[in-house]
Structure 1
Amino acid sequence: MNTTIYKPSTSTSPYHPSSSLFPQIRRCKTARHLKQIHAHFIKTGQIHHPVAAAEILKFISLSSQRDINYARKFFTQIHHPNRFSWNTIIRALADSDDDSFHVNSLEALLYFSDMLTDGLVDPNKFTFPCVLKACAKLARIQEGKQLHGFIAKLGLVSDEFVLSNLVRMYVMCGAMKDAHVLFYTRRLEGNVVLWNVMIDGYVRMGDLTASRELFDSMPNKSVVSWNVMISGYAQSGHFKEAIEMFRDMQVGDVSPNYVTLVSVLPAISRLGALDLGEWVHLYAEKNEIEIDDVLGSAFVDMYSKCGSIDKAVQVFERIRNKKNPITWSAIIGGLAMHGQARDALDCFWGMQQAGVTPSDVVYIGVLSACSHAGLVEEGRSVYYHMVNVVGLVPRIEHYGCMVDLLGRAGRLEEAEQLILNMPIKPDDVIYKALIGACKMHGNIEMGQRIAKKLMDWYPHDSGSYVALSNMFASEGNWEGVAKVRLKMKDMDIRKDPGCSWIELDGVIHEFLVEDDFHPRAEGIHSMLEEISNQLRSVGYRPNTTQVLLNMDEKEKQSALHYHSEKIAIAFGLISTRPQTPLRIVKNLRLCEDCHSSIKLVSKIYNRKIIVRDRRRFHHFENGSCSCMDYW
């Protein structure tokens, strides 16, 4: 076979060598085919042509068949890598997002150093974005600043792509002052990417005020701009603002995309805004946005947390690829919240039959389901399976589920022993679960002992103070209550107020305890009086033991009358047609009086009332609750 000797390429592009000399590389579709071409090039001597080597390296490093290890080995065999080859290997390592991205990013910096040491080619405007990306991933601010100086020396700061990556490097390294200076001294009005980088930087820092000001001043907004703000609000707990931003986006000329939906659905879930969630689902289908395992899981979670577990199951069954544990975790967690423990367990075992290994999050969902239903032995079996079959090391959350499971079932001493024998330090959540169980089962001595410990360990957490105060109150120890509340006042520790909200016609209405600021306050109060009269007519008497304040019986009954969830239900009754289901979300756990009275309200007014409290869902219908009074 004749060996053809090629002359060096005279291509004018420093980054994209022409592949017209080697059409077989351009037609390559698989890694196996590429290795055959590689072997042929070695045999014919064509491998020494810099463009041929660069093209093969490009396929190995940047195609869908990328193989970083193969790329490394191949690069070491190139006698004199051209600039394209150096840029390709650096880019491949910097772009890596697998579990080894830290190592690969560091290696990208080392290759860049070798490129400079080699001295045969100089870096260009395509080199620096990749190196800056590696610095950003590693948060190597000093190396980033050195690169900034190098870029300025070469006169590349004016290049928009280089500039954007330079700003992003400062942002990712948390150096917002440097990013700010660079942005305002070099800002280009049309560079939307640069604006987005800065907005994302402020969001990462938690400065949503600065990010919103910058967003509002943008001359042009892309879908990425909107997505960054929506995601930033949702992840920081500003759920109303996230939804408002989503609504504003629809008014403009930018259409929501896949990322938008994934970003806004958690906010919709937390607020229980089912109408909006259903609109988003319809939008995805109408605009042919693929509901894959990630978006599908978000919809399952949304429907579950908005009180529509049937819809959640429907979405789950339609997801084609159920190999992602996140998808199973979403439906199992949803079933657990709705008290459908047996269905959650069936899903758990079905998941394994489908060949999907449960993640540690899946086990949290299953154990939570067992806890809500009092399935102690089933919970033990799941815990044993996690540790001894799958081999997962229990996290603090798993221990918390087991303590909650045992505590709710009245096995308080066993739950306390589990805490004492844990190989990791228990947190306040675990102890609070045990305190709640102590109050539920009347073991005031243990509850007070643990609450006092928590006050020593977490002196500024209101939960332990409130728990201790409540237990003193349940004994009628008002002196003890006064001392705890005085200490809270001295330390400026405040209890979270009860808050409930209901969505009607896409609008979320929020109510606090004894709330009378709503525009329809007069009608709400009239309905509350009517409800109270109706309850008395069927023999119901308020459970004033739930009022842990030192006041007379009449005042206690009045206090129960104006709990936030009751106000939300009254508003729902006067604002919707008969037999329309009501969905309420509450930030705290339902008290026993509210639970008992809502059961009767559901029967008296022939309404299905779905209440999501801090722990789970309660489906009230015809005088009973889905939790079977075990919550």
Structure 2
Amino acid sequence: MYKVKEFFFLIGLLWMSLANFLSASQRCIQDSMIIHHRVVSHLQRCSRLSELKAVHATVVKGDLCNDGRVATQLLGACSSVGMMDYAVLIFAHIRKPEVYAWNVMIRGFDRCALPGDAVRFYGDMLKSGVRPTSFTFSSVIKACSRSSSLRLGEEIHGHVFKGGFGSEVFVQTSLVDFYSNLGEINRARKVFDEMTLRDAVAWTAMIAGHAKAGDVESARKLFELMSEKSTVSWNTMIAAYARSGDVDAAASLFDSMTNKDLVSWTSMIYCYAQNRCFKKAVMEFERMQMAGVDPDEVTLSTVISACAHLGALEIGKKIHFFISQHEQIFLDVYIGSALIDMYAKCGSIERALLVFFKLHEKNLFCWNSLVEGLAMHGYAVEAIALFRRMEMEKKVIPNGVTFVSVLSACAHAGLVDVGREVFSRMTRIYAIKPEIEHHGCMVDLLSRAGYLEDAMALINDMNMKPNAVIWGALLGGCRTHGNVELGEVAVKNLIILEPLNSGYHVLLANMYAKTNRWTDVAKVRGMMKGKGVQKSPGYSSIMVNGVAHEFLSFDDVHPKCEEIYELLEELGLQLRLAGYVPDLGLT
């Protein structure tokens, strides 16, 4: 009897021990799951290296380094903050990395613009005996495209077929994109035509390929063949028309869209701006705002540039105010440079300077825009001082555009010695080969200051053929300083380059008239008449209440034409009463 009781007592103890063990195990699993969930959640929110290292420490303490999901999330977080070196260290401590970990590493290298490392890791993956997946091929093909390596891409294409992924839409689309990016449009089309299944992404990739190759007609035909067009495909086609300069086709396609997203609006605004329809670009931006679509940094920088070309200061200021009222829009270097350029071109130098000095990061375009703006509006000394500051800071190296602006400032201010020194520094210190624009600035500088023989010598020493701008600069100097002989040389060359430009004929005739050479004036007039050269009418534009008004010489089309001429007549009368006598020359 005692033995039976002892037996049941022992059984009871065993059951209690087992229950306690199971309960403890369950708690351990639950704790592990909680830690696992917290780690994954934190990794998804990591945006800085310090945060990433803190989570990594938790992973090591919790012995989760070899947990597949945690390892993958950890490696992915490294790539998202651009720390692939740290990812390599973590990867090296995974005992037996699965294919997902390899894929994340390859994709991470590609995302961080390290295509060579992506391809090298793919090779290591094959050596380790891990079989690639469709995601592997997609990432490694993108890496080949980024490195412009056709041979490597062809090898990977062979691996795709050997691995049995030749019919995977995801992989085939990557190959279409790869061949298109490397200019192999026929091979891209061959891959596309051989696809048994095509989704919207595949169609869009092929449309983009044709557009990139300049074959807009083939892109349009493919677009029309699509049974279900995605918003991305519509946007791709709009961008194709924009690139080819077919603004009307782009606008027609855009207007027929039922679902326009931010990219759609931005593409259309960019289309107008790229094709110099700046007024329409601004109007499209206003329509976008009325439609309730919030712009991003790309949209804003594009429309601000359009305002710069229009001289639409008030609209530009409103956009600047809009940016300041929306915290989610970051005043980055692109918007900042566009604002500087807009304010500088519109003559608001104070605002341009304010934006410039508020920017934490300044790229070359920021410096160039401000130097050019200062030079354009007569602040030559300040433009040169800013250039000197740029040289002293050594954060940004000046380029050819910078020197064009500085030399232009020297020309307008008559700073001949400074201009010569800057031109010398450009070639001697920065090893920038003088282009036609630099020579044009130097000829303009010397001609304005009266150094006409030096300007002619510079033209003769040029290792390129002088253009109309250079001869025009020399002619302008000849007119100012009364050098008819060199003026004749300039005009003869200008007539060859631009035979129908009336301005040069008129300038030469004015020079003859000033020296009473009326026979030569008559010859110029006869030459103009014989060649059918007519003086082109001038025009001006002005922004009033956000609307651009353009006026041609002798314009009679404007709705307020009568009022305008009455005001001009009154202004002319007041000028005559004040004793002003215009120098009309030969017009």
Would you say same fold, with TM above 0.5? yes
2:144 is aligned to: 93
Output the CA distance in 1 between the equivalents of 2:482 and 2:490. Answer: 14
Output the CA distance in 1 between the equivalents of 2:87 and 2:529. Answer: 76
Output the CA distance in 2 between the equivalents of 1:425 and 1:78. Answer: 57
- Say yes or no: does 1:72 pair with 2:111: no
1:479 is aligned to: 522
What secondary structure does 1:333 align onto?
helix
1:136 is aligned to: 180
2:232 is aligned to: 193
Decide which of 366, 388, 392 is 1:349's aligned counterpart. 388
Report how far residue 437 of structure 1 moved: 2.0
Decide which of 63, 82, 87 is 2:133's aligned counterpart. 82
Report the TM-score, using the length of structure 2 for normalisation: 0.81
Letter in 2 for 1:52: A
Letter in 2 for 1:379: G
User: Following TM superposition, where does structure 1 have runs of at least 4 consecutive aligned residues deviating by more than 6 angstroms?
Assistant: none
- Say yes or no: does 1:177 pair with 2:217: yes
Output the CA distance in 2 between the equivalents of 1:71 and 1:460. Answer: 58
Report how far residue 255 of structure 1 moved: 2.6
Question: Structure 1: any 5+ residue segments left out of the alignment?
Answer: 1-18, 550-631
1:245 is aligned to: 284
Report how far residue 435 of structure 1 moved: 2.0
1:90–1:111: 8 Å Cα contact kept in structure 2? no
What secondary structure does 2:194 align onto?
helix
Question: Structure 2: any 5+ residue segments left out of the alignment?
Answer: 1-65
The change in CA–CA distance for 1:111 and 1:262 in structure 2 (over 3 A counts) is farther
Letter in 1 for 2:99: P
1:149 is aligned to: 193
Report the TM-score, using the length of structure 1 for normalisation: 0.75
Output the CA distance in 2 between the equivalents of 1:394 and 1:516. Answer: 46
The change in CA–CA distance for 1:123 and 1:437 in structure 2 (over 3 A counts) is farther
2:403–2:426: 8 Å Cα contact kept in structure 1? yes
Output the CA distance in 1 between the equivalents of 2:535 and 2:167. Answer: 59
Decide which of 131, 149, 157 is 1:113's aligned counterpart. 157
CA offsets 1:448-504 (integer angstroms, 9 cap, x no match)? 222222333444666655555655565544422333322442xxx665421112212
Report how far residue 303 of structure 1 moved: 0.8
Letter in 2 for 1:365: S
What secondary structure does 2:554 align onto?
coil
1:231–1:263: 8 Å Cα contact kept in structure 2? yes
- Say yes or no: does 1:55 pair with 2:104: yes
- Say yes or no: does 1:27 pair with 2:27: no
The change in CA–CA distance for 1:194 and 1:301 in structure 2 (over 3 A counts) is same
Larger fraction in helix: 2
2:431 is aligned to: 391
Output the CA distance in 2 between the equivalents of 1:234 and 1:469. Answer: 39
What secondary structure does 1:170 align onto?
helix
Output the CA distance in 2 between the equivalents of 1:455 and 1:442. Answer: 20
What secondary structure does 1:447 align onto?
helix
The change in CA–CA distance for 1:344 and 1:34 in structure 2 (over 3 A counts) is same
Shifted more, 364-373 versus 130-139: the winner is 130-139
The change in CA–CA distance for 1:252 and 1:370 in structure 2 (over 3 A counts) is same
Higher relative contact order (CA 8 A, sep 6+): 1
Decide which of 315, 332, 351 is 2:371's aligned counterpart. 332
1:127 is aligned to: 171
Letter in 2 for 1:72: V
Letter in 1 for 2:197: G
Report how far residue 87 of structure 1 moved: 1.4
1:140–1:173: 8 Å Cα contact kept in structure 2? no
1:6 is aligned to: none
Letter in 2 for 1:144: A
The change in CA–CA distance for 1:33 and 1:497 in structure 2 (over 3 A counts) is same
Output the CA distance in 1 between the equivalents of 2:500 and 2:167. Answer: 54
Letter in 2 for 1:55: V
The change in CA–CA distance for 1:171 and 1:533 in structure 2 (over 3 A counts) is same
Report how far residue 377 of structure 1 moved: 0.8
2:166–2:172: 8 Å Cα contact kept in structure 1? no
1:434-445 to 2 correspondences below 5 Å? 434-445=474-485
Output the CA distance in 1 between the equivalents of 2:258 and 2:279. Answer: 25
Output the CA distance in 1 between the equivalents of 2:180 and 2:448. Answer: 47
- Say yes or no: does 1:40 pair with 2:93: yes
The change in CA–CA distance for 1:78 and 1:334 in structure 2 (over 3 A counts) is same
Output the CA distance in 2 between the equivalents of 1:224 and 1:460. Answer: 43
Greater Cα radius of gyration, structure 1 or 2: 2
2:157–2:175: 8 Å Cα contact kept in structure 1? no
Report how far residue 117 of structure 1 moved: 5.5
What secondary structure does 1:27 align onto?
helix
Report how far residue 309 of structure 1 moved: 1.1
Report how far residue 22 of structure 1 moved: 5.1
Shifted more, 326-335 versus 503-512: the winner is 503-512
2:331 is aligned to: 291
What secondary structure does 1:127 align onto?
helix
2:189–2:206: 8 Å Cα contact kept in structure 1? no
1:537-616 to 2 correspondences below 5 Å? 537-545=577-585, 548-549=586-587
Output the CA distance in 1 between the equivalents of 2:189 and 2:507. Answer: 52
The change in CA–CA distance for 1:135 and 1:455 in structure 2 (over 3 A counts) is farther
Letter in 1 for 2:216: M
What secondary structure does 2:93 align onto?
helix
1:371–1:401: 8 Å Cα contact kept in structure 2? yes
Output the CA distance in 2 between the equivalents of 1:459 and 1:528. Answer: 34
CA offsets 1:429-450 (integer angstroms, 9 cap, x no match)? 2222222222222222222222
The change in CA–CA distance for 1:458 and 1:214 in structure 2 (over 3 A counts) is same
1:201-350 to 2 correspondences below 5 Å? 201-288=240-327, 289-322=329-362, 324-350=363-389
Report how far residue 360 of structure 1 moved: 1.7
The change in CA–CA distance for 1:227 and 1:468 in structure 2 (over 3 A counts) is farther
Report how far residue 245 of structure 1 moved: 2.0
Output the CA distance in 2 between the equivalents of 1:247 and 1:22. Answer: 47
1:91–1:108: 8 Å Cα contact kept in structure 2? no
2:472 is aligned to: 432
1:623 is aligned to: none
Output the CA distance in 1 between the equivalents of 2:266 and 2:295. Answer: 8
The change in CA–CA distance for 1:434 and 1:83 in structure 2 (over 3 A counts) is same
1:375 is aligned to: 415
1:595 is aligned to: none
Report how far residue 364 of structure 1 moved: 1.2
2:505–2:524: 8 Å Cα contact kept in structure 1? no
2:35 is aligned to: none
Output the CA distance in 2 between the equivalents of 1:345 and 1:251. Answer: 43
Output the CA distance in 1 between the equivalents of 2:152 and 2:205. Answer: 15
Output the CA distance in 2 between the equivalents of 1:185 and 1:472. Answer: 66
Shifted more, 111-120 versus 175-184: the winner is 111-120
The alignment-based identity, stated in percent, is 36
2:457 is aligned to: 417
2:33 is aligned to: none
Report how far residue 276 of structure 1 moved: 0.7
Output the CA distance in 2 between the equivalents of 1:170 and 1:354. Answer: 45
2:102–2:125: 8 Å Cα contact kept in structure 1? yes
Aligned length: 507
Output the CA distance in 1 between the equivalents of 2:539 and 2:562. Answer: 19
The change in CA–CA distance for 1:461 and 1:173 in structure 2 (over 3 A counts) is farther
Output the CA distance in 2 between the equivalents of 1:494 and 1:149. Answer: 56
1:465–1:488: 8 Å Cα contact kept in structure 2? no
CA RMSD of aligned residues (A): 2.4
Report how far residue 350 of structure 1 moved: 0.8
